[in-house]
């Protein structure tokens, strides 16, 4: 059995022909808003996925090494409850799967019977992932899905009849604001069965300079990662953004608890986007909001779990307590929300 993947299209999800926003529509809406914004979900084209890979290797980007340590050293605490019946291992935002492979190896060693279902928005990342899974774990039953998180949820509705373990690692949830993370998790809860588990990676609130450095890295990789979004608009939508005329800025909002990323226009300028058939005017120092990276207190995590129908079973910390992988159980006995 070899691993495969498929790309979810509008037709798979909306046979009736309902339309969801595509890239150009989202860019039109985002750049017409005040303040202007573009979604970080569009970061991950081929070059973007490659740049994120580089970010994960930066010394300043502590998130990856902390979670890698947690998974390597505490994997038994995750596999403990999975013995017995066959299950789905569903993963949102797999990326290169480096951390997941530690778990997969452990599960296979224990002879667990499971299907691995990685869901990722980047086709480029999924292609590479499937290839390397086939090579490293030829016996693994894998079915990859290229879709954004909410669309992935819709797909799972027909798959989740087995027992499920859901991975949402890397602080990927941090891209969602409070309303969206609640909506996502409660939707997930709805699809899952009582007693299913979810492992969510949260980056904890900590020393502000440490958090800021993870996004304002000394090599400027994160800046490139953000600017690549303008490059993608140029390539895919026929835009004429001059990347030299924008700078990256990331700051921490202590009150909302998010690192907020921006691309700031360095001068008054007009940018034409062919596929939209329209120009957009930027004032000097006008920002485009590009990304939220939320950070959490333990109490934020408790509140989020409680409100969305889960109870927290275990909190797995790294040795510096910078990061936590939180193991949640679906609770359908009590009433929720």
Residue closer to ligand AVJ, measured from CB, 37 or 222: 222
Query: At its nearest, how many Å lie between ligand AVJ and the CB of residue 61?
Result: 7
Cβ-Cβ contacts under 8 Å for 14 (sequence gap 6 or more): 20
Query: At its nearest, how many Å lie between ligand AVJ and the CB of residue 107?
Result: 24
Which value, to the nearest 10 degrees, does the dihedral of the CA atoms of residues 197, 68, 92, 331 take?
20
Query: At its nearest, how many Å lie between ligand AVJ and the CB of residue 64?
Result: 9
Residue closer to ligand AVJ, measured from CB, 216 or 269: 216
Order of strands across the sheet with 197-203?
A: 4-7, 141-146, 114-120, 87-92, 163-168, 197-203, 323-330, 310-317
Query: At its nearest, how many Å lie between ligand AVJ and the CB of residue 42?
Result: 13
- Integer angstrom CA distances of residue 76 from 106, 182, 283, 293, 323: 8, 28, 54, 29, 18
Question: Which tokens is 244 given?
Answer: 């030299």
Query: At its nearest, how many Å lie between ligand AVJ and the CB of residue 76?
Result: 25
Nearest CA to 63 out of 52, 77, 73, 74 is that of 52
The residue number whose beta carbon is nearest to ligand AVJ equals 293
The strand pair at 278-282 and 269-273 is best described as antiparallel
Residue closer to ligand AVJ, measured from CB, 55 or 140: 55
Cα distance between residue 267 and residue 336, in whole Å: 50
Binding site for ligand AVJ (CB under 6 A): 55, 63, 170-172, 174-175, 215, 222, 225, 291, 293
Residue closer to ligand AVJ, measured from CB, 212 or 266: 212
Query: At its nearest, how many Å lie between ligand AVJ and the CB of residue 161?
Result: 30
Question: Which tokens is 151 given?
Answer: 């669309």
Residue closer to ligand AVJ, measured from CB, 91 or 291: 291
Cα distance between residue 221 and residue 198, in whole Å: 31
Question: Which tokens is 163 given?
Answer: 């027992």
Residue closer to ligand AVJ, measured from CB, 88 or 171: 171
Question: Which tokens is 169 given?
Answer: 């690692």
């Amino acid at each position: 059995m070899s691993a495969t993947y498929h790309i979810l299209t509008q037709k798979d999800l909306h046979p009736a022909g309902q339309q969801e926003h595509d890239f150009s529509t989202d860019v039109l809406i985002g750049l017409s808003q005040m303040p202007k914004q573009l979604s970080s979900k569009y970061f991950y084209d081929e070059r973007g996925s490659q740049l994120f890979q580089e970010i994960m290797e930066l010394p300043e980007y502590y998130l990856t090494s902390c979670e890698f340590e947690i998974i390597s050293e505490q994997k038994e605490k995750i596999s403990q409850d999975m013995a017995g019946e066959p299950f789905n291992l569903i993963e949102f935002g797999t990326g290169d799967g480096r951390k997941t492979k530690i778990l997969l190896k452990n599960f296979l060693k224990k002879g667990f019977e499971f299907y691995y279902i990685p869901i990722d928005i980047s086709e480029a990342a999924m292609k590479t992932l499937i290839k390397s899974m086939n090579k490293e774990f030829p016996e693994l039953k894998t079915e990859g899905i290229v879709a954004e998180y909410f669309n992935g949820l819709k797909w799972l509705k027909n798959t989740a009849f087995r027992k499920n373990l859901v991975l949402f690692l890397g602080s990927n949830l941090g891209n969602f604001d409070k309303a969206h993370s609640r909506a996502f998790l409660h939707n997930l809860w709805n699809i899952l069965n009582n007693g299913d588990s979810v492992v969510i990676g949260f980056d904890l609130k900590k020393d502000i300079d440490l958090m800021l450095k993870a996004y304002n890295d000394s090599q400027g990789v994160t800046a490139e990662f953000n600017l690549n979004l303008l490059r993608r608009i140029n390539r895919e939508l026929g835009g004429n953004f001059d990347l030299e005329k924008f700078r990256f800025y990331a700051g921490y909002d202590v009150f909302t608890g998010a690192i907020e990323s921006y691309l700031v226009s360095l001068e008054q300028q007009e940018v034409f986007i062919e596929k939209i058939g329209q120009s957009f005017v930027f004032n000097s120092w006008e920002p485009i909001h590009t990304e939220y990276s939320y950070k959490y207190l333990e109490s934020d995590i408790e509140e989020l779990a409680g409100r969305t129908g889960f109870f927290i079973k275990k909190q797995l910390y790294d040795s510096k307590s910078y990061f936590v992988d939180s193991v949640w159980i679906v609770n359908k006995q009590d009433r929720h929300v």
